[in-house]
């Protein structure tokens, strides 16, 4: 079951992460003991998902302290390395949040920082369970107490968190209650987090699913095959505008036309109340090779230019509700976060 999946752990003075770039054909754990290693793992998406990145950022501060002690960094070098880690993926607010949660404790010593990081991981697990229950209750109340066909985009499960997941955590909770008929998992181009990661988790959890091309999502929704769609978020503005994996906006638009619920499920730590709306969210643009090559094989003309944003921003007017570990925010009624 997915509860046995631990995407990120701290043990023996190191971070251990499942290398998500190798799934589903190989299950390999990476040992990370240096800040450079962690930044590389984050940027190549060996570890990903907003809540998991928050925990990785917190543990990374401990790595920085250990490296500072052995490599004799001065305080300026230590601060610079922590800044590099914090900024490794600019769209994902949780990474910076995790770093900022433990950084003020550096003056209290390494153990204080490590304990705070471990507490963040434990809190994330509890948060996942709360989101699962709140989201499941919301959907069954809104749609009806019956088995549901749900659509999800990218990966929002145990691989993206330290627990059961955000949007996928809601699906897992519904499955426990016997309320899942089938899950439509978008493949999630260009790196296929849906077909590689979400399908892997659903298979382990024995939840019925089918994979579909991203381009099939609108057809599935508008033809009545889907009761609701659930996604995660890497950053949510105060008004509800939500940044998530590229392709999320198209799903939201289709749900809006079909008049079915479109839910964003994310922890409170993904809510950035310092920004009024999504126009302030920086969107990461990734390498051309992710589009022009597949598994190292060239699939486009030499020198082809690409437009490869990692995320898009769904305006609040296309979001039905935002589910956090605290409550359901009624975005369609104009409620802000």
Each residue's pLDDT tens digit, 133-180: 999 999 999 999 999 999 999 999 999 999 999 999 999 999 999 999
For residue range 62-105, list pLDDT tens digits in order. Answer: 999 999 999 999 999 999 999 999 999 988 889 999 999 999 99
Strands 271-272 and 235-237: parallel
Pinpoint the alpha helices (H) of the chain. Answer: 35-43, 50-71, 75-86, 93-102, 110-143, 167-176, 193, 199-204, 217-222, 248-258, 289-292
Question: Which residues, 6+ apart, have CB-to-CB distance to 2 below 8 Å?
Answer: 157, 158, 164, 165, 168, 172, 201, 204, 205
Q: End of a domain among 67, 89, 123?
A: 123
Q: Could you tell me if 178 and 245 lie in one domain?
A: yes
Q: Are residues 143 and 106 in the same domain?
A: no
For residue 300, the model assigns a pLDDT of: 97
The DSSP element (H or E) to which 230 belongs, if any, is strand 228-231
Number of domains in the chain: 2
CA-CA-CA-CA torsion sign (70, 71, 75, 78): negative
Torsion of CA 325, 331, 335, 337, to 10 degrees: 40
pLDDT score for 8: 95
Residues annotated as part of the active site: 234
Same domain, 274 and 179: yes
Predicted local confidence at residue 295, as pLDDT: 85
Q: Do 186 and 113 share a structural domain?
A: no
Residue 56 belongs to domain with CATH number: 1.20.120.420
71 and 195, same domain (yes or no): no
Its pTM stands at: 0.92
pLDDT of residue 147: 98
CA distances from 228 to 111, 148, 156, 283 (A): 44, 8, 16, 26
Q: In what order do the strands lie in the sheet with 242-245?
A: 271-272, 235-237, 242-245, 311-314
Same domain, yes or no: 147 and 269: yes
Whole-angstrom distance, CA of residue 267 vs CA of residue 280: 20
Same-domain pairing of 189 and 117: no
The Cα-based distances of 18 to 13, 30, 33 in angstroms read 17, 6, 15
pLDDT at residue 2, rounded to an integer: 39
Tell me the C-alpha distance between 127 and 94, whole Å: 14
CB atoms within 10 A of CB 48: 28
Indicate whether 139 and 163 sit together in one domain.
yes
Residues 93 and 8 in one domain: yes
pLDDT of residue 1: 37
Same structural domain, 92 and 238: no
Residue 290: give the domain boundaries. 132-333
What CATH number has the domain bearing residue 253? Answer: 3.40.50.10470
Q: What does the pLDDT read at residue 14?
A: 97
Q: How far is CA 19 from CA 167, 177, 199, in A?
A: 21, 31, 16
Counting as low any pLDDT under 70, the low residues of the chain are 1-3
């Amino acid at each position: 079951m997915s509860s046995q999946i631990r995407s990120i752990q701290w043990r023996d003075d190191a971070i251990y992460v499942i290398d998500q770039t190798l799934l589903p054909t190989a299950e390999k754990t990476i040992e990370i003991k240096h800040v450079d290693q962690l930044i590389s793992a984050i940027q190549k998406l060996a570890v990903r998902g907003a809540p998991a990145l928050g925990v990785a950022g917190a543990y990374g501060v401990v790595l920085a302290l250990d490296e500072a002690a052995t490599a004799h960094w001065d305080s300026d070098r230590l601060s610079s390395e922590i800044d590099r880690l914090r900024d490794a993926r600019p769209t994902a607010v949780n990474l910076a949040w995790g770093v900022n949660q433990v950084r003020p404790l550096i003056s209290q010593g390494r153990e204080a920082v490590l304990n705070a990081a471990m507490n963040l991981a434990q809190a994330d697990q509890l948060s996942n369970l709360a989101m699962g229950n709140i989201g499941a209750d919301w959907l069954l109340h809104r749609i009806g107490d019956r088995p549901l066909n749900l659509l999800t985009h990218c990966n929002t499960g145990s691989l993206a968190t330290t627990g059961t997941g955000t949007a996928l955590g809601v699906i897992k909770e519904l499955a426990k209650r016997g309320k899942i008929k089938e899950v439509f998992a978008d493949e999630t181009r260009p790196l296929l987090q849906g077909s590689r990661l979400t399908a892997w988790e659903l298979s382990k959890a024995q939840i019925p699913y089918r994979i579909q091309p991203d381009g099939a999502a609108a057809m599935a929704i508008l033809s009545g095959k889907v009761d609701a769609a659930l996604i995660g978020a890497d950053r949510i503005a105060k008004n509800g505008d939500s940044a998530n994996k590229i392709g999320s906006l198209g799903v939201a638009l289709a749900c809006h036309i079909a008049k079915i619920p479109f839910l964003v499920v994310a922890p409170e730590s993904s809510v950035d109340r310092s920004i009024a709306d999504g126009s302030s969210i920086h969107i990461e643009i990734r390498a051309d090779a992710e589009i022009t090559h597949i598994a190292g094989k060239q699939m486009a003309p030499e020198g082809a230019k690409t437009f490869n944003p990692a995320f898009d921003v769904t305006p609040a007017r296309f979001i039905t509700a935002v589910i956090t570990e605290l409550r359901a925010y009624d975005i369609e009624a104009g409620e802000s976060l």
